[in-house]
Chains A and B, each alone.
Chain A
Amino acid sequence: MDTDMTAPGFERIVPKHAPLDRIAYGLQFGEGPVWNARQGSLLWVDIVGDTIWKWIPGKGTEILLRPSGKANGLTYDRQGRLVVAGWASRTVWRMEHDGSIVTLASHYQGKKINTPNDIVVKSDGAIYWTDPPMAMYIPGMAGDDVQRYLDFIGVFHLSPDGATLTPVADDFINPNGLAFSPDESLLYINDTSRRHIRVFEVQADGTLRHGRVFYEARGDEPGNPDGMKVDTEGHVYCTGPAGIHVIDPHGNLLGRMKIPGHVTNMAWGGADWRSLYITTRDSVYRVRLQVPGVPVS
């Protein structure tokens, strides 16, 4: 795998000449990778292909769900259930252990939410997602209803009991990827349109405060802040021009991982959480890194 703009400390994380394996191709719009540690499998979505895929290393790929409501971001909760940013379906939903689907959120104060993009579950069971209106605007990603109702674009918090939905940010243009710091005291949220990452302090009640710009993505190559994840040392990995930007906890660029195509998201997996799975619009790649990612569930 190619890298550039490297600073001291980058090679400790990203080994030189790390092979970039391609494990899937032919997607129309790949996204939402997530590792299932219990099963040793990887899920991802093809948004335009309206499918959630499952890959078992050494065995192969199968369809988990189709149609998928053109789902986008995926994660797992503490009980190992799949939690989904439903994108064109304009809901956040969960797959129960028996395979049935439960809607967790669809409306805020009587109005349909926008189009949930990416999603994380906090250790207390609260669910956070970004809620841009983009699936209503992008040709080819329409769901049943493309009418926007909310007058703000933000990020939502669903209480652990599933009963209370609270906007914790309302001033984004295109909120996209989000990720907690390892101790969950900080929440990083990027904005694709503004080409930056903001970082917020997470309060005891789950709301956010003191948001400030953490990193601004620069570069003429194709790519924008989209998917974003954090490793156990607090480095932030975010899609951007040329591929994936690796950023230290102070907001300094340590180096760029150059990935073919348009990178959309990434997720750690493998038994040691050191395999970084990377989705692009048409493919899924894997590279072995040296610092483990924050585990999911």
Chain B
Amino acid sequence: MDWEFELIAGPYGGTTEGPAWDGEALLFTHIPESRILRYDPRAGAVAEFRKYTNRTNGLAFSADGHLYGCQSGSRRIVRFNADGSTSVLADRLDGRLHNHPNDLAVDRQGRIWFTDPFGRLPAPGPQLQGLLEHASVLRLERRPDRTWMIRRMTYDTTSPNGILVSQDQQTLYVAQSGYAEDRPRELRAYSIREDGTLGPYSVLHTFGVDHRGPHRGVDGMCLDTEGNIIACAGWQQSGPGPMIYVFSPSGQVLETHAMPVDRPTNCTFGDADLRTLYITTGGGHLYRVRNTGRQGWLLFPAPRGD
């Protein structure tokens, strides 16, 4: 079935990212202007939700409805509070500032798994600490005494990008996306052990390279109720072009759908029945597809109706 892509907002110029359904509307980030926008499908309009977000990229809700974001400009995860304030929970890994968070996923225990690539732009102000020697998946979580800390979870990534926790909480999907290396771009599945550490990863899909350059691979992703991974991937400059893939949990390519514009960045399901797929892009668009035939699985909010 051909997906029908509807342009519902933008292009804003520069990357839109972080689509997250809040129960009534779709939040998404516009990175170069450091804003979070909010598309209400009933009103059919976009409003400004937050300003001065310091290049916040990915967004995600915890099970109890708190909104977290990757404030990549300031090298930290933040929580956007309902009263309009913004909290920094922890910003150091073993005493050192980490890199520039890109995307995040919250698990049922309220732990925030996030990808921490090196980033393109330095943080504002005096450069007090350089980047880490590695670009890994980190996890922001509470200690038993309720204070926050950050833990390193992977030791084998170079450019982690999109990230998901499966519905059964047993698998962590990570898009490994380094462009300028010998390593291919991969969609990986790490098993999450009982103690929360990660087992070795399986490669679900590999993206290649040729004379036109490296194929972009996966950026952001979301899950449907069957556990399949809907992944934004590709670009016009090399490879099969900008596409949305549907991968089974074992990596079987169930569907691919060519995007009407370049560089899809991230996606999520939304609307009351969670059957609308929203997609953001490198050019600053917000698209939706209503005829995927699929329903999304979100940690928050729970679906209403079918």
CB neighbours of A148 from chain B (8 A) = 51-52
CB neighbours of B51 from chain A (8 A) = 148
The verdict on B305 contacting chain A, using a C-beta distance below 8 Å, is no
Q: Which of the candidate stretches B22-30, B81-89, B218-226 sits at the interface with the other chain?
A: B81-89
CB neighbours of B124 from chain A (8 A) = 134, 137-138
- If A29-B128, A133-B52, A148-B51 touch, whether A139 touches B75 (CB-CB below 8 Å) is yes
Is the Cβ of A139 less than 8 Å from the Cβ of B91?
A: yes
Is the Cβ of B91 less than 8 Å from the Cβ of A145?
A: no
* Residues of B32-89 whose CB lies within 8 A of A: 50-52, 54, 71, 73-76, 78, 84-88
How far apart sit A29 and B78, CA to CA, in the bound complex (Å)? 23
Is the Cβ of A146 less than 8 Å from the Cβ of B88?
A: yes
* Residues of A106-160 whose CB lies within 8 A of B: 133-134, 136-142, 144-149
The smallest beta-carbon distance between A4 and chain B, in angstroms, is 23
Is the Cβ of A147 less than 8 Å from the Cβ of B128?
A: no
CB neighbours of A136 from chain B (8 A) = 52, 54
The verdict on B126 contacting chain A, using a C-beta distance below 8 Å, is yes
How far apart sit A141 and B123, CA to CA, in the bound complex (Å)? 12
The verdict on B147 contacting chain A, using a C-beta distance below 8 Å, is no
The verdict on A48 contacting chain B, using a C-beta distance below 8 Å, is yes
How far apart sit A140 and B50, CA to CA, in the bound complex (Å)? 22
- If A145-B87, A147-B52 touch, whether A139 touches B123 (CB-CB below 8 Å) is yes
Per-residue interface assignment for chain B, residues 85 to 127, with 1 indicating a CB less than 8 Å from any chain A CB and 0 otherwise: 1111001100001000000000000000000000000011110
CB neighbours of B71 from chain A (8 A) = 146
The smallest beta-carbon distance between A46 and chain B, in angstroms, is 12
A147: contacting residue among B84, B97, B126, CB under 8 A: B84
Q: Which residue of A lies closest to B76 (CB)?
A: A139
Is the Cβ of A142 less than 8 Å from the Cβ of B126?
A: no
CB neighbours of A288 from chain B (8 A) = none
The verdict on A54 contacting chain B, using a C-beta distance below 8 Å, is no
How far apart sit A136 and B71, CA to CA, in the bound complex (Å)? 11
Per-residue interface assignment for chain B, residues 131 to 167, with 1 indicating a CB less than 8 Å from any chain A CB and 0 otherwise: 0000000000000000000000000000000000000
Is the Cβ of B86 less than 8 Å from the Cβ of A147?
A: yes
Q: Which residue of A lies closest to B85 (CB)?
A: A145
Is the Cβ of B91 less than 8 Å from the Cβ of A142?
A: yes
Choose among A133, A142, A262, A281 the residue with the greatest number of B CB atoms under 10 Å from its CB: A142
Q: Which residue of B lies closest to A132 (CB)?
A: B125
How far apart sit A214 and B29, CA to CA, in the bound complex (Å)? 40
Choose among A134, A139, A262, A281 the residue with the greatest number of B CB atoms under 10 Å from its CB: A139
Is the Cβ of A137 less than 8 Å from the Cβ of B123?
A: yes
- If A140-B91, A146-B88 touch, whether A134 touches B125 (CB-CB below 8 Å) is yes
CB neighbours of B52 from chain A (8 A) = 133, 136, 147-148
Count, A-B residue pairs, CB within 8 A: 62
How far apart sit A29 and B126, CA to CA, in the bound complex (Å)? 10
CB neighbours of B75 from chain A (8 A) = 139
Per-residue interface assignment for chain A, residues 229 to 253, with 1 indicating a CB less than 8 Å from any chain B CB and 0 otherwise: 0000000000000000000000000
The smallest beta-carbon distance between B66 and chain A, in angstroms, is 15
Is the Cβ of B74 less than 8 Å from the Cβ of A146?
A: yes
Is the Cβ of A137 less than 8 Å from the Cβ of B54?
A: yes
The smallest beta-carbon distance between A113 and chain B, in angstroms, is 14
Is the Cβ of A137 less than 8 Å from the Cβ of B84?
A: no
Is the Cβ of A48 less than 8 Å from the Cβ of B73?
A: no
Is the Cβ of A48 less than 8 Å from the Cβ of B128?
A: yes
B129: contacting residue among A133, A137, A139, A146, CB under 8 A: A139
CB neighbours of A134 from chain B (8 A) = 124-125
How far apart sit A149 and B126, CA to CA, in the bound complex (Å)? 23
Per-residue interface assignment for chain B, residues 207 to 223, with 1 indicating a CB less than 8 Å from any chain A CB and 0 otherwise: 00000000000000000
Is the Cβ of B123 less than 8 Å from the Cβ of A142?
A: no
Is the Cβ of A138 less than 8 Å from the Cβ of B87?
A: no
CB neighbours of B97 from chain A (8 A) = 139-140
How far apart sit A230 and B52, CA to CA, in the bound complex (Å)? 35
Is the Cβ of B123 less than 8 Å from the Cβ of A146?
A: no
- If A48-B128, A133-B52, A148-B51 touch, whether A138 touches B74 (CB-CB below 8 Å) is yes
B76: contacting residue among A142, A144, A145, CB under 8 A: A142
How far apart sit A138 and B97, CA to CA, in the bound complex (Å)? 11
- If A145-B85, A145-B86, A146-B86 touch, whether A140 touches B78 (CB-CB below 8 Å) is no
How far apart sit A146 and B77, CA to CA, in the bound complex (Å)? 12
Choose among A136, A142, A147, A149 the residue with the greatest number of B CB atoms under 10 Å from its CB: A147
Q: Which residue of A lies closest to B98 (CB)?
A: A139
Is the Cβ of A262 less than 8 Å from the Cβ of B84?
A: no
How far apart sit A182 and B286, CA to CA, in the bound complex (Å)? 57
CB neighbours of B50 from chain A (8 A) = 147
Is the Cβ of A140 less than 8 Å from the Cβ of B86?
A: no
The smallest beta-carbon distance between B27 and chain A, in angstroms, is 16
How far apart sit A114 and B80, CA to CA, in the bound complex (Å)? 17
CB neighbours of A138 from chain B (8 A) = 74, 123-126, 128
User: 4 additional contacts, CB 8 Å, given A137-B125, A141-B125, A146-B54?
Assistant: A134-B125, A138-B74, A140-B92, A144-B85
The 6 closest A-B pairs by CB, nearest first: A138-B125, A147-B86, A148-B52, A142-B88, A139-B75, A145-B85
11 contacts between A and B (CB under 8 A): A133-B52, A137-B125, A139-B76, A139-B128, A140-B129, A144-B85, A146-B74, A147-B50, A147-B52, A149-B84, A281-B126
Binding site for B on A (CB under 8 A): 28-29, 48, 133-134, 136-142, 144-149, 262, 281
